[in-house]
């Protein structure tokens, strides 16, 4: 279980896992590196598989999310490039 503070952004990142994120309290914006955004509310689920993604709490309340991560194979593009994990460089508060 993770809590994301008010007005806090989790930086764009990618993991080599299949991720299920279940919002259990509040609402969060799920973002992709291409600029796509989706508002996800309590009781809804986000499924991520190899995409660069982040989360942004734009509210005045704490958001609570339960994450389930399952190991996955590396993503290999048609040209043979392998997408690696990206790590958090820093966390920012907006």
Q: What percent of the chain has pLDDT over 70?
A: 91
Range 60-72 average pLDDT: 92
Range 41-65 average pLDDT: 93
Burial 13-39 (b: 16+ CB within 10 A, else e): bbbbbebebbbebbebbbbeeeeeeee
Structure tokens at 81: 């490039």
Range 46-57 average pLDDT: 89
pLDDT top residue among 91 and 14: 14
Structural domains for the chain = 2-87 (2.60.120.10)
Question: Could you read off the pLDDT of 18-38 as tens digits, one per residue?
Answer: 889 999 999 999 999 888 999
């Amino acid at each position: 279980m993770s809590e994301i503070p008010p007005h806090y952004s989790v930086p764009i990142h990618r993991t080599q896992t299949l991720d299920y994120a279940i919002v259990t309290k509040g609402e969060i914006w799920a973002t992709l590196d291409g600029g796509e955004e989706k508002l996800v509310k309590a009781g809804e689920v986000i499924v991520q598989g190899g995409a660069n993604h982040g989360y942004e709490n734009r509210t005045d309340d704490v958001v609570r999310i339960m994450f389930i991560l399952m190991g996955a194979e590396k993503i290999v593009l048609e040209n043979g490039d392998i997408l690696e994990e990206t790590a958090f460089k820093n966390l920012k508060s907006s």
